[in-house]
Amino acid sequence: MKLFRFRRFQNERERLFESALADTPQKDVAPEQMNPLVLAYIGDAYFSLYVRTRMVAYEKNKMQALHAVDAKIVSASMQAVACRTIEEDLTDTEREVLRRGRNAKSQVPKSATVGEYRASTAFEAILGYWYLKGDMTRLDEMAGKAFRAILTAMNEEREGN
């Protein structure tokens, strides 16, 4: 069974590479209909770049410090905080995307609880949804709100220790 799954993965990887090489993208799919893990994949990349861009505004030379703070901000536990923060501001359609992201099945890393990881995936999925929908105003507004909430939570955590 493992060999079959591995060969299927190799075939999928090869098909993806060939499509990219030939520049033959799949037909457009509305973000509302996309796999929530694909939305999370895009949302993760967006939020990482958003955080790094924001952090460089405060420090331009200390790479180790930048990475340490960045890694904490984009961690599953902090993104779970972000998810809870923005959830109250979502429309019904956005809540559905968030729900689908939360319910998406994926492997949970040891660094997070199942609840944190599911909330983190939901947060990334809604960011990916806004990005792929082209709603940059909403994306920037909610990413900013999430960023501020995460920094507040990190500060409370820091002061508590």
Q: Which residues are catalytic?
A: 44
* Contact (Cβ atoms closer than 8 angstroms) between residue 40 and residue 101: yes
* Contact (Cβ atoms closer than 8 angstroms) between residue 117 and residue 109: yes
20 vs 74: CA distance, rounded Å:
29
Q: Token pair for residue 40?
A: 């999370």
Percent helix, strand and coil across the chain, each to the nearest 5:
80, 0, 20
17 vs 15: CA distance, rounded Å:
5
Q: For the residues of 42-59, what is the DSSP string, one character each? A: HHHHHHHHHHHHHHHTT-
